[in-house]
Structure 1
Amino acid sequence: MTSIGGSDGAGRDGRVLRAPSLVSLAVESIRGRILAGELQPGERLFEERLTEELAISRPPLREALRLLENEGLVTSQPRRGAFVATLTDQDVFEILTLRSALERMAFEIGIPVADPALLDPAQAAFEKMEACAAADDRGALVQAGYEFHSRLIRIARHSRLEAIYASVQQQLLLCMSRNLIARERFYEDLREHAARHGRLLDLVRAGDVTAALAELAVHGERSFEETRPRPHEH
């Protein structure tokens, strides 16, 4: 099996180009698998299996798991090991409604957009989403989707709003991952998921705050409500 590690080399200008560490590569790989739904909420992360799959030793793997725990994507239990973090329906509802409130605030302040260049980072993130969808890379698509939303709120030019949004980044990633997987069960494929973000960006660019806010609603708690399991009627 090929190792996920690499070696340092010299660039054209003579400077040493440092390869990503084994720890950072392991973090990226495991994070992607969690966000893609390949590693399910509550699933135990067996060290022996992961060291074999990633072709690394236990020390860098354990450091990677510790970093993922700091991100909130992994939890650890004494004498039991590491597990993929689990969110309840209420957790998801609270996080997504918080996200929607912050994004609505950004839209209400920032539309019409004073400087079209403010949308360039969101456009780049959207194009990344399209590429991830075309490659059927769900984990990368989730991360690009977070990047899209976090770049889009910059139209408000409100540094404290951006800081609050960034403070719940990993929780949002977990929610977006769960929501995307749920929507796929309801026949929205990855390309349609990316396309919805393109429609939102077009409305923001057009300066239609009412239409943009209506479209924004389907990206947050409303989309979760549409796909969450309904209790059986008694």
Structure 2
Amino acid sequence: MTGSVEDSPTAHTRAPSIISPPSLVELAAATLRRMIIGGELLCGQRVVENRLTHELGISRPPLREALRVLEREGLVRQVPRKGVIVTPLTLHDIYEICTLRAEFERLAVRLGVPVTEPTRLRRCELALRRMGEAIEAGDEPGYRECSFEFHLSVVGLSGHQRLEEAYRSLQLQVLLSMALNRQARRDRESLAGDLARHQRLLSIIEGGDPDAVLAELAVHGDRTFLDGIEDKVDGHTEAALQWLRRQRETPEDK
């Protein structure tokens, strides 16, 4: 007897999922996020709705909803009588972001170098290649996101999932500090030069000496934006000021 439809081997095959296209609010939030990460909207700068509705080609309701998304992420905030501003980083914020990031990276190097899993190195190489592709495309915010992914892949050399997840939780904050650093280095270093610094770091990682990798990270050039930073931001806690003085006692690649 011929089997029923229910007995057919293809009867229970699941249809492919239909992925909804991003909404206008999601697209606007993604664009604004990249403008902040890319330095087009600076920390502390007021968000001018009239200008953004014109530039993004959207009306006020989706723009305001997108801004609420970014407010939940901590990228913007509402200020009485001023409106929406890009969340300013205080000196204490910068101190916490930089010290936590550095400790995560140092721990990852201690755990993961020399590298025993070739796939982990290939992940670093892929991130570098994508950084190069972003340069070719003229996509500076995309380049910075790929740069974060490279540093995340360096943390991933540790094979420590919780460490990598903790580092990823800092993504938006690290990207903001990267934007400040890029602004500080813009006159002295092209994106190609920035890429070369990361290529040098990977080459040293491949050499397998963790102390050499840590020495390279110490002069990697990601602290250039700290020059004169206390005159540009508020939040001067004693802990942050002491840390800043120690940073200036350590030479960095210029």
Alignment RMSD (CA, Å): 2.3
Unaligned runs of 5+ in 1: 1-12
Unaligned runs of 5+ in 2: 1-14, 232-254
Counterpart Cα distance in 2 of 1:169 and 1:117:
23
The equivalent residue for 1:154 is: 156
The equivalent residue for 1:18 is: 20
Q: Which amino acid aligns with 2:156?
A: R
Does the 8 A contact of 1:73 with 1:85 survive in 2? yes
Counterpart Cα distance in 2 of 1:141 and 1:96:
20
- How far did residue 19 of structure 1 move? 2.6
The equivalent residue for 1:197 is: 198
What's the secondary structure of 1:44's corresponding residue?
Answer: coil
Q: Which amino acid aligns with 1:121?
A: R
What's the secondary structure of 2:77's corresponding residue?
Answer: strand
- Indicate how the Cα distance of structure 1 residues 49 and 188 shifts in structure 2: closer, same or farther if over 3 A, else same: same
Counterpart Cα distance in 2 of 1:55 and 1:62:
13
- How far did residue 79 of structure 1 move? 5.0
The normalised TM-score by structure 2 is 0.77
- How far did residue 80 of structure 1 move? 3.3
- Indicate how the Cα distance of structure 1 residues 98 and 16 shifts in structure 2: closer, same or farther if over 3 A, else same: closer
* Structure ID, larger Rg: 2
The equivalent residue for 1:5 is: none
The equivalent residue for 1:110 is: 112
The partner residue of 1:82 within 71, 81, 84 is 84
Counterpart Cα distance in 1 of 2:167 and 2:221:
14
The equivalent residue for 2:168 is: 166
Q: Which amino acid aligns with 2:37?
A: L
Does the 8 A contact of 1:134 with 1:191 survive in 2? no
The partner residue of 2:135 within 130, 133, 136 is 133
Counterpart Cα distance in 1 of 2:156 and 2:48:
40
- Indicate how the Cα distance of structure 1 residues 119 and 71 shifts in structure 2: closer, same or farther if over 3 A, else same: farther
What's the secondary structure of 1:76's corresponding residue?
Answer: strand
The normalised TM-score by structure 1 is 0.83
Counterpart Cα distance in 1 of 2:21 and 2:97:
35
What is the number of equivalent residue pairs in this alignment? 217
The equivalent residue for 1:214 is: 215
Does the 8 A contact of 1:23 with 1:63 survive in 2? yes
The equivalent residue for 1:100 is: 102
Does the 8 A contact of 1:100 with 1:217 survive in 2? no
Superposed CA deviations along residues 176-199 of structure 1, whole A, max 9, x for unmatched, are 1111111113x0111111111111
